[in-house]
Amino acid sequence: MADISMIGAGSWGIALAVLLYKNGHRVTVWSAIEAEIRMLQKEHEYKDKLPGVKLPEDMEFTTDLEQAVKGADVLVLAVPSPYTRSTSHNMASYVEEGQLIVNVAKGIEEKTLLTLSQIIEEEIPQAKVAVLSGPSHAEEVGRGIPTTIVVGAKEKAVAEYLQNIFMNEVFRVYISPDVLGIELGAALKNVVALAAGIADGLGYGDNTKAALITRGITEIARLGVAMGGSFETFCGLTGIGDLIVTCASMHSRNRRAGILIGQGYTMKQAMDEVKMVVEGVYSAKAAMGLAKKYDVQLPIIEQVNAVLFEGQLADEAVKNLMLRDKKIENPLLPW
């Protein structure tokens, strides 16, 4: 049994807290929002974000970050990506040498172009940092629906330790050394999911969705490999797997926001309507920054940026993609 602190009490943090508790671990849930903690202490259910998922009576909830961090075997960082740096900074003085932090959020920091694990390592250099990602909607994990994910860590022993902590009969965990590839796939698929949602909002069909998924993973892998990630990672759970589920499911806040944008909402109106952090909006500009830095073409992600931030009409963005210069699908294949 391990002492685990969930740093963040959103739907994903709560779903994982329940999973870890059922695995026999002692779990403490932290949030900076006092009203959120009071509600969880009283209701033992997050009715707005994860209705029907009951939290155990003896699960602890706190707003005291020092209490949550000190002495924990594992810190699961589950705050939305825009708050990763500030939360890590606030945690840093309480984290001991070698203490293990698992990041489960997805995103890229716009100003620095750093992945979330890189931000954590920058703010908390004394910690060991791992990541957990894959096709895993909180709504389904909280209900115990079979799910498969991947843990990435620089040290195999760390990955295996986390595999044992998280894995059970409904939550299968693979491990990988490709932390960078895992994080890039996780972050960039949110941008492609916005495109898939926009296509849905415009009334397009399955053909369009399939095109966006397949060409989207090509873009993600192209950038990821250029940055040093492994091509095989983008063919796996945190690449094509996560992309499929995020583009296809109404659990996906990125797809839901995209649908609204396709129907004529502005980016801000769509985010307000979804009422949760739409990670793809924050990663979209960063993705273009990385594309410029590594001299990689990302036509789908480029058009998403144009719609989000430059006033491009959604249907015009689709036309721009369809009428690009003629291409060979795979230039490495010989005739």
Whether 333 is covered by a domain: the verdict is no
- pTM > 0.85: yes or no: yes
In this structure, are 169 and 312 located in the same domain? no
pLDDT tens per residue, range 296-308: 999 999 999 999 9
pLDDT of the residue at 268: 86
pLDDT of the residue at 330: 86
> Among residues 161, 177, 193, which one ends one of the domains?
177
CB 24: neighbour CB atoms within 10 A? Answer: 10
Specify the number of domains making up the chain: 2
In this structure, are 303 and 213 located in the same domain? yes
What ranges in the chain are assigned the alpha helix state H? Answer: 11-22, 34-43, 65-69, 84-91, 116-123, 138-141, 156-166, 179-201, 206-227, 231-234, 242-248, 253-262, 267-274, 279-294, 299-309, 314-322
Whether 41 is covered by a domain: the verdict is yes
pLDDT of the residue at 278: 84
Which residue among the candidates 49, 189, 209, 285 is catalytic per the annotation?
A: 189
CATH number at residue 137: 3.40.50.720
Q: Which residues constitute the domain of residue 266? A: 180-322
Let me know if 47 is a catalytic residue: no
In this structure, are 60 and 186 located in the same domain? no
In this structure, are 247 and 124 located in the same domain? no
pLDDT of the residue at 274: 86
In this structure, are 10 and 120 located in the same domain? yes
In this structure, are 68 and 52 located in the same domain? yes
pLDDT of the residue at 232: 96
CATH number at residue 294: 1.10.1040.10
Whether 54 is covered by a domain: the verdict is yes
In this structure, are 161 and 82 located in the same domain? yes
> Among residues 150, 177, 204, which one ends one of the domains?
177
In this structure, are 53 and 201 located in the same domain? no
pLDDT of the residue at 43: 93
Task: Give me the residues of the chain with pLDDT under 50, please.
Answer: none
Whether 99 is covered by a domain: the verdict is yes
Strand order from edge to edge, sheet including 3-7: 60-62, 26-30, 3-7, 74-77, 100-103, 128-133, 147-152, 171-176
> Among residues 177, 209, 224, which one ends one of the domains?
177
pLDDT tens per residue, range 282-332: 899 999 999 999 999 999 999 999 999 998 998 999 889 988 888 899 888
Whether 151 is covered by a domain: the verdict is yes
